[in-house]
Amino acid sequence: MGQITLNKVDRAYGKLKVLHDINLDIPDGEFTVLVGPSGCGKSTLLRLIAGLDKPTSGEIIIDGKDVTKASAADRGLAMVFQSYALYPHMTVRQNLAFGLENIRMPKSEIESRIQEAARMLEIGPYLDRRPGQLSGGQKQRVAIGRAVVRNPTAFLLDEPLSNLDAELRITMRAELSGLHERLTTTMVYVTHDQVEAMTLADRIVVMRAGRIEQIGKPLDLFHRPANLFVAGFIGAPR
């Protein structure tokens, strides 16, 4: 399961309205990409789904359950950040195990999940290193691995590849696609990169200034953009 619905979600910070009337239905297993220019509210929307922030009004439903007021820990989701957010003083293995020890998972189960994620993401050789001894791409693989071991109902990824160089971004893009195919878990992926959105998404959500401009399959947006903004953002020659 991993079906996510947002009904009439608004978010304001004081007088600043950051999200307006967001209605979004993400089916279980879909790779959804939220795309739009910097500052349009993508991260805020993802944080609301994650439970790291609460809407000013509206509701969030996950697998039929109203989680609007539920904490992040109670939502069963895993977030991956652009900045990796690894604990620098812990080894890769300890970083992967961290959340799991808190929920009293047996050691053998933790170890088998770590081994499986390590194989999937090719980080086996680095399990005893600390993040400071890893390259950017390796760190991001560990950050994704930390999400994988929690076996979440959905992955929420906020510009996970933005800190990587162009070549590595393309490699990691393909790996993320492969990961989604293998796990068939819902993924909600934020980017400001149109090419990334077009290549990864089952469906793209185009945002501008806190509103959803259009939702559709990549090629539908490309061939039938709802307005000039979407046309310019998705279809711009590169």
Contact residues for ligand ADP (CB under 6 A)?
13, 16, 18, 36, 38-44
Rounded Cα distance between 192 and 116, Å, is 31
Which of positions 40-99 make contact with Mg ion (CB under 5 A)?
43
Whole-number minimum distance, CB 29 to Mg ion, in Å? 24
Residue whose CB is nearest to Mg ion in the complex, by number: 43
Name the nearest CA neighbour of 178 among 206, 153, 141, 149. Answer: 141
Closest to Mg ion by CB, 43 or 194: 43
Question: Which stretches does DSSP call E strand in 101-202?
Answer: 154-158, 186-191
Whole-number minimum distance, CB 24 to Mg ion, in Å? 17
Determine which helix (DSSP H) or strand (DSSP E) holds 104, and give its type and residue range. none
Tell me, what DSSP letter sits at residue 72? G
Closest to ligand ADP by CB, 53 or 116: 53
Q: Residue 103 binds which entry of Mg ion, ligand ADP, none, with Cβ cut-offs from 5 to 8 Å by kind? A: none
Please report whether residue 191 would count as binding Mg ion according to CB under 5 A: no
Whole-number minimum distance, CB 105 to ligand ADP, in Å? 32
Name the nearest CA neighbour of 188 among 231, 220, 158. Answer: 158
Residues 6+ apart with CB under 8 A from 116: 148, 149
Query: Which residues here bind Mg ion, judged by CB under 5 A?
Result: 43
